[in-house]
Amino acid sequence: MSDCPTATNEQKDAARTSLRERSTDRVASKRAAVSQVGEGLTAILTESLEVSLCVDSDSDTSIIPYDLLQELPSTAYSITKLKSPVKVRVVGGAKLIAKNQVSLDVQVRAAAGPVKIRGVKCLVLEESEDQFILGKDVLSSLGIDVSTMIEQLAASTCQYFDADDLNLPVAEVGADSEEGILVKLAELRKEAEKEDREDIGLCEDLYTCV
């Protein structure tokens, strides 16, 4: 943009602003896609509690909030204290601390039907959350590639923010001259068609070349 000789400073600033907005829209759409992947999914923990399930391609380990853990029968699990606290990055980018770990039997609905996974190791979060996070290690064992799902959904969402759909003031070198040539050639082609002239082919060739 800075090398464009025909663009004014205002046009360059407008173009830069539009590019920043487009980048922001793509990030927002990807975040929406992450939420959409997990929307409506549930898991059954220890055959006793159905909870909202969040799939997270960035989480190496499954995570359960302490509040949800308290709703399970006390005989269905045992908590193990970690040697040192572990930082956990959850959906949205927030970093939380886990001091304990628990092993649970988890049932999820996969493409082939319900799948029961025994002994899923989960970090326990003290913070108040309402979703059970299934780590990518477990998802991979089920044949679920969440990263691909997210990218596909993000791409689908991003089509609404495509530059072709936006009326952006992006300056292009020689845009005015080229547009004038195309208009003139279109007029010549129409005149040749009306008069059924033999040189209509030349007009077509020139129009295509431009």
Q: What is the per-residue pLDDT for 82?
A: 93
Q: Which residues pair with 100 in a beta bridge?
A: 81, 124
Question: Which residue ranges of the chain lie beneath pLDDT 50?
Answer: 1-4, 23-39, 150-178, 203, 206-207, 210
Q: CA dihedral defined by 95, 107, 102, 119, rounded to 10 degrees?
A: -130
Q: What is the per-residue pLDDT for 21?
A: 54
User: Are 125 and 65 contacting, i.e. CB atoms less than 8 angstroms apart?
Assistant: yes
What's at 116, amino acid-wise?
A: K
Q: What is the per-residue pLDDT for 117?
A: 86
Q: What is the per-residue pLDDT for 172?
A: 41
pLDDT digits (tens, 9 = 90+) for 37-58: 444 578 889 988 888 887 765 6
Q: What is the per-residue pLDDT for 30?
A: 37
